Amino acid sequence: MSAPTLPAPGPDGRWADRTVTLADLPIRDELRGSEPYGAPQLDVPVALNTNENSYPVPADVVEAIVDAVRTEAAGLNRYPDREAVALREDLARYIAHGLTVHNLWAANGSNEVLQQLLQVFGGPGRTALGFTPAYSMHPILSTGTGTAWIDGRRNADFSVDAENAAADVRKHDPDIVFLCSPNNPTGTALGLDVVEAVLAESRGMVVVDEAYAEFARPGTPSALTLLGASPRLVVTRTMSKAFALAGARLGYLAADPAVIDAVRLVRLPYHLSALTQAAARAALAHADALLATVEAIKQQRDRIVDELAARGLDVVPSDANFVLFGGPTENGGLGDQKAVWRRVLDRGVLIRDVGLPGYLRVTAGTPAETDAFLVALDAALDQKGQA
């Protein structure tokens, strides 16, 4: 690779007054032209674009977290437990399914968990397969670790069926398969037959991303029930959504103990701070209080589904805390979703344009937030009809 040609430095030999862009730097070729991940962070009255839990952490839980962090603060001159054993024990108790500390691993959000899995099982010369539209960090993290991304695609209704998923695995023989259930951004959940079919065909790792599992409708299965059937199955989860701890950054995985040993090969020393571990443990000790909002959020999700369907929009069935809606223009859908997104934003409500033509995604929040969203959307659709 030839070195990029940099602009000439200033008269004193310094670059401070020169404009240097990414094109001037020797970054990896596969990263050129990429954009950093991130939803718009705007100061708006109603933010329903990043699937956060709209309910604040209860005061008694805040007090417990502060007390736990205060206790740890006196010992910050020492490194934390690099294995986070006590936290993993607490996570094992919470997640149940007969799992122990040896089946659990934790990191700074599920994104770091996914990155660690790609570091140890992916990398240059290896491939990862996913079924888009799905969580956009899966291909971004794959590219960041030098893992080639393969797009398996979904059916027209955004579902993934066992036969087609297995066929994609046979065709591409990937080193890692990403399955998302419930899926982001569609909200759709997978049947266990899909996971089993992929496991049967795959020679590599199968990662089921269950970041929104606590919001699933009754009867929706979890891949946790399949752990033990194969050492190549990994289930990832997070405390960002149902636990309302997006700002704490705590994600985890459940897998065979050998997978935990493998991930430890690539984890950074002391990657999980003592403060994060203390805050997460305090939150887990108050899991019932933190998860008390889940049912209220599910009620708003189902209300949004019903309200949008009554407006003639195509609504994707959701097992998450968000709803994807829109549909083809010829069926009375949104049409230009970017224009509708802007009109909704102009009325103080921020939702998400996930890049699917004709579709937008809205997070289920409080009843008042749902009210504001529906009013803003109605006005936006009226304006669309008048255009």
Give the pLDDT means over successive 10-residue stretches in the chain (387 positions): 57 66 88 84 94 97 98 97 98 97 98 98 98 97 97 93 97 98 97 98 98 97 95 98 97 98 97 98 98 98 97 95 86 84 98 95 98 97 72
User: Which of 84, 67, 138, 107 lies closest to 283, judged by CA?
Assistant: 67
What's the pLDDT at 386?
60
Are 209 and 114 spatial neighbours (Cβ–Cβ below 8 Å)?
A: yes
pLDDT value of residue 15: 59
> Residue 21 has what pLDDT?
84
Task: Please list, in sequence order, all residues whose beta carbon lies within 8 angstroms of the beta carbon of residue 98, skipping any fewer than 6 positions away.
Answer: none
Q: Are 238 and 112 in contact (CB under 8 A)?
A: no
Residues β-bridged to residue 255: 234
CA distances from 128 to 16, 140, 141, 148 (A): 40, 11, 10, 6
How does DSSP classify residue 13?
Answer: S
Residue 123: CB partners within 8 Å, gap ≥ 6?
A: 145, 146, 147
Domains of the chain: 46-56+292-386 (3.90.1150.10), 59-285 (3.40.640.10)
Q: In this predicted structure, what is the pLDDT of residue 71?
A: 97
Say what the pLDDT of residue 13 is.
Answer: 60
How far is it, in rounded angstroms, from Cα 90 to Cα 83?
13
Residues paired with 251 in a beta bridge:
107, 238
Contact in structure between 46 and 233 (CB atoms under 8 Å) = no
What pLDDT does 331 receive?
57
pLDDT at 52: 97
Q: Are 32 and 4 in contact (CB under 8 A)?
A: no
